Structure 1
């Protein structure tokens, strides 16, 4: 019971913190488009792609630190072990961060001239911005490392408070800058570098406090790092393949589309990334807890937690993604106030929205393998997926542009989802697949029912006013969510008991 309360509390804290971070980012980003213009916003979207690819320099060390610290919880010498391990990882990260800065500075002119299709922003501006991107990404590499150690200790309350503070500074500070001080994208990225430095210092201070090194001159400890290398290598390999799966379309389109259209595509990418990120707070608390349960030999409890978490995520993710897909242009217009962006997104966003929800739920098969410490299945899955995805996306984008990318993205996700979960479940936990499949079918069907029932109400509420559109979408989404949740039998039984209980 204590474990269950702990998971619920930590998940609630993570969702509160990351919901704020995600919501603030989603609400603020369209203002950047309005104040800086479509090309500068496209540059911010390109920065997001670069950040995803250069996070590969992490080499799987950050998730390995989470797992190593979680495994050692409650054991003797925890502080000494984690402190020495953190210092060893810091020493590995130093040349990686340096390489990031140098590579971005050296390649900035080529990217500005030969890759990005800018008509209004000067080459000098692009070069300066790209160089600053390298500094921001290097700082975030270290921030991710320190966060991972804190996450492994399951200090989710502190972690999410700190994330809220940083998100407030990053987004509201950036909005204040571009709205009242300067529209220059160079100044925007200089501010992001400053925020990145503050973030790294805050998380480093907490990590040093909770995982102190034996002395300031503590060096690299090969004996501690060596056992982690196989797991880190598998995580790094799968991370490379994961980035290929999720970012190859964004890379190809950044070269193909004019920078202003890439700004519109960045709005679509922000929405769909937000859909996939909605399960991240749960993953932050779920992965350490699944690992601990397996370490304690409580396999059945781990399976039940896995199923409950999957059910919970699908219950709110499927209605959200389906609602966005059904009303894509209305959603973008109500959100951004930019009619050209809404028109451009009309045929692109629906497919990306549905595909992103499927990919977010597909991550649960990775969580199961992570808990078992058996990553070879995920490695092979990622290799095969990448070998299929890259040529398919290349041909789709070259032939049909952004629309081709959207269709290909959705079809690939559906085919993968139809095949992969059953393989993972049969290999690791054969008894859970039937319940998992029933949950998926029930939630999908009830999502369709809910949207069909609430569509007339949405049309009654929404008109050309952005606020009314938001209100109509919110009402439709909330009612659909309630319909889906009410279709879960244990929940219905609890409600039935409450209503049938005799009064006193």
Structure 2
């Protein structure tokens, strides 16, 4: 099938995604210190536990959101295509709502066990922890369903709308939570009751927009039970995504699960805070990945492989350079940024010497983002599935050993080693399969900017310490020097890439 419609601007969608992820990051900077102040560092550790629980339970989503994102990326050449998308959506809906009920049930039935046997809390009552876990289940279930509809909007390239909805949802949830804990009660259970309510409202809102957009293209949409047969056309891709999701959950959360079991909630919160900080390295890559994925899909289904590879090279080079510079400076200046963000010397001291490896590991994982979307656009999940199996074997054997003998430092170092090996092998395989490009040259183009950025950041920090700069002065210096480094890197690499950035 030939793509005749002009694609929506990848740059415009990338900007919309960057704004959304920048707001998410800004929200962390604005609200996390408030949460720590009013809830306490131990209760904040419970808040970070929610993220781990969410990633694990999202496995029940069976990769359906990303599957729908790919299905809705297909060019709508006729009303029959629109009707097929609607029927697939309604069929998947039936499954995801059943899964949501199961998630709520799992959290409700296991809340007491988690509160008494897993969470190490000294100041929060077990009954409060138990109720909080139940509310977390409702929140996670609602977000899981909402992500299904969000995948549809992203696939249709309505990414400005999708990001507007996400920002509005985040804004209402965080501001409402702050008002609640400041003026009503700092009880962590109330905090998550509010989250659950807002998540349900968000779910309903996103669904309304998706259905309205489909009906605008074809008013007489219909679905019957026998339309579940449409699932046969997507189940292989969905199963591939499921395995990838399982691997992601295990790879990214096994260290946090072990830490939650063996360390106090303050240490749990400290480790998860640095992991949240490391997500800064993924803002641009994930934003570009989401924006460019529908275009990848259209070019592949339209059999324009030359255009597909050209688009990949253009945006991947931007992602790699930016991630390298941001990752290098974040890793070196993590202590200053963590103290500025959390306002907690306890958290900062706990993570001294740990942050560097954790942030670099996440930066390396971010470099896989654009190739990953390229694979999915071509309907290829086998490479990611093989990688997933290998990574699962690694994290189930090496990571527990490292944590047992080296504590939090072991967890971070294990993550870095895994991502360094994984990224290297992944890019070599990708290059040989699709780019017909020298693998060594590709790896040099990725690791050299990262090493140079680390060296520049290290020298800058050493100099500022020698001059006796304050923490805030060092942080400001890091931002300025990092921005200058990034600009020079793009100018040297390619002036056209610099204008695109």
Answer yes or no: same fold by TM over 0.5. yes
Structure 2 residue aligned with 1:476, among 481, 487, 491?
481
Contact 2:364 2:419 in 1 (8 A): yes
Larger displacement relative to structure 2 (330-339 or 225-234): 330-339
In the alignment, which residue of structure 1 is the partner of 2:106?
A: 103
In the alignment, which residue of structure 1 is the partner of 2:95?
A: 92
Structure 1 residue aligned with 2:19, among 8, 16, 24?
16
SS of residue matched to 2:78: coil
* RMSD of equivalent CA atoms: 2.5
The alpha-carbon deviation at position 222 of structure 1 amounts to 2.5
In the alignment, which residue of structure 2 is the partner of 1:28?
A: 31
Contact 1:447 1:484 in 2 (8 A): no
Contact 1:325 1:353 in 2 (8 A): yes
Identify if the C-alpha distance between structure 1 residues 465 and 248 changes in structure 2 by more than 3 Å, giving closer, same or farther: closer
* Mapping for residues 156-235 of structure 1, pairs under 5 Å: 156-212=159-215, 214=220, 218-219=224-225, 221-235=227-241
Identify if the C-alpha distance between structure 1 residues 179 and 428 changes in structure 2 by more than 3 Å, giving closer, same or farther: same
In the alignment, which residue of structure 2 is the partner of 1:258?
A: 264
SS of residue matched to 1:342: helix
CA distance in 1, matches of 2:443, 2:483: 24
In the alignment, which residue of structure 1 is the partner of 2:348?
A: 342
Larger displacement relative to structure 2 (37-46 or 443-452): 443-452
CA distance in 2, matches of 1:465, 1:414: 30
CA distance in 1, matches of 2:403, 2:269: 17
In the alignment, which residue of structure 1 is the partner of 2:432?
A: 426
Query: Are 2:276 and 1:270 aligned?
Result: yes
* Mapping for residues 56-75 of structure 1, pairs under 5 Å: 56-75=59-78
Structure 2 residue aligned with 1:485, among 467, 490, 498?
490
Query: Are 2:415 and 1:412 aligned?
Result: no
CA distance in 1, matches of 2:201, 2:123: 32
Unpaired runs of 5+ in structure 1? 496-504
Identify if the C-alpha distance between structure 1 residues 400 and 456 changes in structure 2 by more than 3 Å, giving closer, same or farther: closer
Query: Are 2:246 and 1:248 aligned?
Result: no
In the alignment, which residue of structure 1 is the partner of 2:147?
A: 144
SS of residue matched to 1:431: coil
In the alignment, which residue of structure 1 is the partner of 2:449?
A: 443
Contact 1:307 1:436 in 2 (8 A): no
Identify if the C-alpha distance between structure 1 residues 372 and 10 changes in structure 2 by more than 3 Å, giving closer, same or farther: same
In the alignment, which residue of structure 2 is the partner of 1:498?
A: none
Identify if the C-alpha distance between structure 1 residues 469 and 169 changes in structure 2 by more than 3 Å, giving closer, same or farther: farther
CA distance in 1, matches of 2:6, 2:470: 49
CA distance in 1, matches of 2:228, 2:89: 12
Structure 2 residue aligned with 1:326, among 314, 324, 332?
332
Unpaired runs of 5+ in structure 2? none
Larger displacement relative to structure 2 (357-366 or 92-101): 357-366
| Deviation digits for residues 187-230 of structure 1 (CA, Å, limit 9, x no counterpart) | 10011001101110110110111234856774461231111001
CA distance in 2, matches of 1:283, 1:122: 43
**What TM-score results when the alignment is normalised by the length of structure 1?**
0.92
The alpha-carbon deviation at position 156 of structure 1 amounts to 1.0
Larger displacement relative to structure 2 (431-440 or 161-170): 431-440
CA distance in 2, matches of 1:126, 1:449: 45
Query: Are 2:366 and 1:368 aligned?
Result: no
The alpha-carbon deviation at position 122 of structure 1 amounts to 0.5
Identify if the C-alpha distance between structure 1 residues 125 and 492 changes in structure 2 by more than 3 Å, giving closer, same or farther: closer
In the alignment, which residue of structure 2 is the partner of 1:155?
A: 158
CA distance in 2, matches of 1:387, 1:116: 26
Contact 1:112 1:123 in 2 (8 A): yes
CA distance in 2, matches of 1:334, 1:411: 28
Contact 1:318 1:357 in 2 (8 A): yes
The alpha-carbon deviation at position 96 of structure 1 amounts to 0.5
**What TM-score results when the alignment is normalised by the length of structure 2?**
0.92
CA distance in 2, matches of 1:346, 1:39: 19
Contact 2:45 2:270 in 1 (8 A): yes
CA distance in 2, matches of 1:157, 1:356: 26
SS of residue matched to 1:77: helix
The alpha-carbon deviation at position 269 of structure 1 amounts to 2.0
- The count of residues paired between Structure 1 and Structure 2 equals 494
Identify if the C-alpha distance between structure 1 residues 405 and 422 changes in structure 2 by more than 3 Å, giving closer, same or farther: same
